[in-house]
Amino acid sequence: MIKLRDSIEGEESFESLLIKRRSVRSFNPKQITFQQLSNILFASYGTINNGPHKTVPSAGALYPLSIYVIVGKESIDNLNNGIYRYLPITNSIEIIKEGDVRRRIAIGCLGQAFISKAPIIIIIAANFERMKYKYGNRGIRYALIEAGHSCQNIELATLSLGLVSCPVGAFTDSEIVKTLGLSDYEIPVYVIPIGNEDK
């Protein structure tokens, strides 16, 4: 288990971040920092002050999302490439599988090659069954709405750190499931490549 840093405050106003918001699909190979990764993961689904609240609202407080981060080769100083799972309660990450799988993710996203150039890729998966147990089919809607909350937090946190991102919904579920080794209860919902813009 690798403990993340506490999130640090950005300098830009909320309004200026909103004005800058756009989807960027060109990344340069510059590394990102461990502090940037920490801020982004906290924004994605962090537990606030030991709980019970998170940075994202959740229907019935059931919290169906899991957040994974793919770290590319030499993408972050002192962090091995691989697939990591975010553990919100301890604000840490755990390695699931070593190796640089960015190209495989890009292929799984219908060959959107720009994804493989991003130093990190966040993947949001949702447990629909947990939500359906309480809400029936409407639970699927709630889980997807929650993923949208998380993705928007990720995008705005990314911008506040001087980085850029692109939300990606076009992918073959089975390819993402296989690459990440997801369980039957984790349906991939969003793929979000993040990095420094190649201007």
Ligand X SMILES: Cc1cc2nc3c(=O)[nH]c(=O)nc-3n(C[C@H](O)[C@H](O)[C@H](O)COP(=O)(O)O)c2cc1C
Q: Considering the complex, what minimum distance in angstroms separates the CB of residue 90 from ligand X?
A: 30
5 binding ligand X? (CB under 6 A): no
Note the Cα 29 to chain centre separation in Å.
Answer: 19
The residue number with the shortest CB distance to ligand X is 169
Q: Considering the complex, what minimum distance in angstroms separates the CB of residue 48 from ligand X?
A: 26
23 binding ligand X? (CB under 6 A): yes
Among 11, 52, 78, 170, binds ligand X (CB under 6 A): 170
What is the bridge-based pairing of β-strands 120-126 and 92-98?
Answer: unpaired
Count the residues of the shown chain that bind ligand X, applying the rule CB under 6 A.
Answer: 9
Sheet containing 120-126: order of strands: 2-3, 92-98, 82-87, 65-71, 120-126, 187-195, 164-165
Cα gap 1→61, rounded to integer Å = 25
Nearer to ligand X, 87 or 154 (CB): 154
Residues 159 and 20 sit within 8 Å (Cβ to Cβ) = yes
167 binding ligand X? (CB under 6 A): yes
Nearer to ligand X, 76 or 154 (CB): 154
Binding site for ligand X (CB under 6 A): 22-23, 25, 112, 166-170
